[in-house]
């Protein structure tokens, strides 16, 4: 049987087709039932008219409930006003699977409720669009690395060594031995790069992050290229080209999805500008307000914003009161009541957003003012600095004491290690962590001891320094962090089909 897809309707204008999908919406008016069918490729309004289909079929169509699955046949007509630009004039409607009292209605639900119903939430248009953007990002990542001559290889997920510290390991039983779920494929990536030159891994990684933040998942997907004969500067050039490529692909191929989720793409279009490269020292000065960025000061701009938020909150509260008073006056028309009520709901939503800002900004200010030189950046510090930029920034040369054991000590100043973090703008923060690798076996052994890691588990890794070591570098991009930023999501939980995080194992 021929399969007709909604995305291809332009090809079938004027023809009779059969669509298969789910009823995502339904409304009725005299003698007509409008069913919006979605089939995974798009949405199409199907019009069932009593005159055309007769009484029995029309009654069937009237009974169609939200998210029941259907086959609908009929003629495809061009209609610019419709989403997708076409409409189907139905001649038959056949029920495949009933859907009784679908729990997600066309109204606002709380996030916890939607998370519990994630298996159904995925069917909504917004989630559909995010998943398609995620897919485009994955595709672009492979395209970029394959075009650049990288070989995709896979690192094991059961490992005996901790790559990113021991504090967030998931432990599991491996035939009586302790194994950990991989936090990163990097160490294996280094071995593979010494065989194939330029490789990338792309797989799930696991971190027991016992806190609820908008940035952390327990299971996330990481892309980790590793390149022989690359130093930190080659690495930064690659990261920049890579992020530019992927973002451009998304802008070019996901126009409609970006519109659906309401993403303002003006900032994403800056991706062709050079990414500022800041040393850790410079970045700290910016966070602490000791150095401005394009005339903007981290601290004073936050203080001003707090004042603006508070003024706006006052104005919103007054407007809500006024509208509520208006609603009390008798004799208001139904349409007017509805309009006022909708305005009040909108204002309340904006007020809630402002209240969140009013809570957040003092925390950001506090952490920026009290930032201690030598520390790693926390989420607040990343927010403070990235709000000042409209492109991703690269912060390099970190104090070696706060970064991973494998980073190369800076030959020019041994207090620093050649790590680089990429922080996404608009307050998003770290999306990439990487750097040049230590090649000096002695320094590595020192670091492994300092981090209290079991030496036996790293013997094979040290072999890479014993048998023909070369300068090499790489990085890890958190897929969900990139999806979250490119889609401007409020939280990382919407960037992956079934998020796993502290307190969330179902569905």
By CB under 5 A, name the binding residues for Mg ion: 433
Q: Shortest gap between Cβ of 335 and Mg ion (angstroms)?
A: 54
Give the whole-angstrom CA distance, residue 455 versus residue 465: 14
Task: Single out the residue of 392, 425, 434, 499 in contact with ligand 4AD (rule: CB under 6 A).
Answer: 434
Give the whole-angstrom CA distance, residue 185 versus residue 156: 7
Structure tokens that stand for 275 in this block: 């990414």
4 binds, among ligand 4AD, Mg ion, none (CB under 5 to 8 A by kind): none
379 touches ligand 4AD by CB under 6 A: no
Nearest in space to 456 (alpha carbons), one of 171, 222, 161:
161
Our CB check for ligand 4AD shows the closer of 364 and 475 to be: 475
Residues 6+ apart with CB under 8 A from 15: 75, 76
474 touches ligand 4AD by CB under 6 A: yes
Interacting stretch for ligand 4AD, rule CB under 6 A, among 53-61, 64-72, 298-306, 473-481? 473-481
Site string for ligand 4AD, 281-320 (x = CB under 6 A): ----------------------------------------
Task: Single out the residue of 209, 234, 358, 446 in contact with ligand 4AD (rule: CB under 6 A).
Answer: 209
Q: Shortest gap between Cβ of 4 and ligand 4AD (angstroms)?
A: 39
164 binds, among ligand 4AD, Mg ion, none (CB under 5 to 8 A by kind): ligand 4AD
Whether the Cβ atoms of residue 43 and residue 6 lie closer than 8 Å to each other: yes
Handedness of CA 301, 302, 307, 308 (dihedral sign): positive
42 touches ligand 4AD by CB under 6 A: no
Residues 6+ apart with CB under 8 A from 424: 386, 392, 430, 431, 481, 482, 485
- 3-class SS of residue 96: strand
476 touches ligand 4AD by CB under 6 A: yes
Give the whole-angstrom CA distance, residue 187 versus residue 448: 13
472 touches ligand 4AD by CB under 6 A: no
184 touches ligand 4AD by CB under 6 A: yes
Whether the Cβ atoms of residue 394 and residue 477 lie closer than 8 Å to each other: no
CA distances from 247 to 18, 36, 136, 255, 486 (A): 36, 32, 10, 12, 8
- Residue count of the chain, please give it: 507
Give the whole-angstrom CA distance, residue 449 versus residue 492: 35
Q: Shortest gap between Cβ of 206 and ligand 4AD (angstroms)?
A: 9
Handedness of CA 449, 451, 452, 458 (dihedral sign): negative
217 binds, among ligand 4AD, Mg ion, none (CB under 5 to 8 A by kind): ligand 4AD
Nearest in space to 40 (alpha carbons), one of 21, 59, 60:
21
CA Rg value for the chain: 27
HEC assignment per residue over 72-89: EEEEEEECCCCHHHEEEE
Our CB check for ligand 4AD shows the closer of 268 and 496 to be: 496
Task: Single out the residue of 392, 425, 427, 433 in contact with ligand 4AD (rule: CB under 6 A).
Answer: 433
Task: Single out the residue of 68, 136, 161, 186 in contact with ligand 4AD (rule: CB under 6 A).
Answer: 186
Q: Shortest gap between Cβ of 112 and ligand 4AD (angstroms)?
A: 20
According to DSSP, the β-strands at 158-159 and 472-478 are unpaired
224 touches ligand 4AD by CB under 6 A: yes
389 binds, among ligand 4AD, Mg ion, none (CB under 5 to 8 A by kind): none
Q: Shortest gap between Cβ of 278 and ligand 4AD (angstroms)?
A: 16
Structure tokens that stand for 23 in this block: 């009823």
Interacting stretch for ligand 4AD, rule CB under 6 A, among 13-21, 29-37, 124-132, 475-483? 475-483
**Phi first, then psi: what are they for 483, rounded to 5°?**
-60, -45
Task: Single out the residue of 431, 486, 487, 489 in contact with ligand 4AD (rule: CB under 6 A).
Answer: 431
42 binds, among Mg ion, ligand 4AD, none (CB under 5 to 8 A by kind): none
Our CB check for ligand 4AD shows the closer of 24 and 201 to be: 201
Our CB check for ligand 4AD shows the closer of 189 and 289 to be: 189
222 touches ligand 4AD by CB under 6 A: yes
Nearest in space to 160 (alpha carbons), one of 175, 180, 189:
180
Task: Single out the residue of 6, 163, 193, 487 in contact with ligand 4AD (rule: CB under 6 A).
Answer: 163
Whether the Cβ atoms of residue 429 and residue 382 lie closer than 8 Å to each other: yes
499 binds, among Mg ion, ligand 4AD, none (CB under 5 to 8 A by kind): none
- 3-class SS of residue 16: strand
Binding site for ligand 4AD (CB under 6 A): 163-164, 184, 186, 207, 209, 216-217, 220, 222, 224, 430-434, 474-476, 478, 480-481
């Amino acid at each position: 049987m021929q399969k007709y897809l909604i995305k291809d309707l332009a090809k079938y204008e004027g023809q009779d087709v059969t669509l298969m999908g789910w009823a995502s919406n339904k409304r009725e008016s005299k003698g007509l039932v409008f069913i919006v069918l979605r089939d995974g490729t798009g949405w199409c309004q199907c019009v069932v008219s009593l005159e055309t289909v007769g009484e029995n079929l029309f009654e069937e169509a009237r009974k169609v409930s939200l998210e029941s699955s259907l086959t609908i046949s009929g003629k495809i007509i061009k209609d610019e006003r419709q989403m997708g630009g076409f409409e189907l004039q139905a001649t038959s409607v056949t029920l495949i699977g009933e859907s009784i009292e679908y729990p997600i209605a066309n109204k606002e639900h709380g996030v916890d409720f939607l998370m519990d119903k994630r298996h159904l939430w995925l069917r909504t248009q917004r989630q559909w669009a995010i998943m398609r953007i995620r897919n485009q990002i994955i595709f672009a990542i492979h395209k970029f690395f394959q075009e650049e001559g990288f070989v995709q290889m896979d690192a094991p997920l059961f490992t005996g060594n901790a790559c990113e510290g021991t504090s967030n390991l998931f432990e599991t039983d491996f035939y009586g031995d302790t194994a950990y779920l991989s936090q990163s494929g990097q160490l294996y990536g280094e071995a593979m790069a010494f065989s194939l030159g330029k490789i990338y891994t792309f797989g799930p990684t696991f971190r027991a992050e016992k806190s609820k933040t908008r940035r952390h998942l327990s299971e996330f997907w990481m892309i980790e290229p590793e390149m022989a004969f690359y130093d930190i500067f080659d690495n930064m050039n690659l990261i920049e080209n890579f992020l530019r490529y992927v973002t451009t692909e998304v802008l070019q191929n996901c126009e409609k999805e970006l519109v659906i989720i309401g993403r303002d793409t003006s900032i994403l279009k800056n991706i062709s500008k050079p990414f500022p490269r800041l040393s850790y020292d410079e970045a700290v000065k910016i966070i602490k307000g000791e150095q401005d960025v394009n005339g903007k000061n981290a601290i004073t701009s936050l203080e001003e914003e707090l004042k603006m938020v508070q003024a706006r909150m006052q104005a919103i509260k007054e407007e809500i009161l006024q509208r509520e008073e208006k609603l009390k006056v008798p004799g208001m028309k139904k349409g007017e009541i509805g309009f006022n009520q909708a305005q009040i709901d909108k204002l309340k939503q904006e007020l809630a957003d402002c209240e969140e800002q009013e809570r957040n900004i003092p925390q950001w200010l506090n952490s920026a003012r009290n930032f201690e030189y030598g520390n790693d950046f926390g989420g607040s510090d990343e927010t403070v600095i990235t709000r000042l930029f409209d492109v991703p920034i690269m912060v390099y040369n970190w104090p070696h004491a706060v970064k991973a054991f494998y980073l190369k000590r800076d030959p020019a100043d041994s207090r620093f290690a050649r790590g680089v973090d990429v922080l996404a703008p608009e307050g998003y923060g770290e999306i990439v962590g990487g750097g040049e690798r230590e090649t000096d076996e002695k320094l590595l052994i020192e670091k492994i001891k300092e981090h209290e890691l079991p030496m036996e588990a790293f013997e094979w890794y040290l072999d890479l320094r014993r048998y023909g070591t070369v300068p090499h570098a790489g990085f890890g991009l958190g897929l969900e962090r990139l999806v979250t930023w490119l889609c401007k999501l409020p939280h990382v939980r919407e960037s992956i089909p079934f998020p796993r995080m502290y307190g969330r194992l179902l569905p």
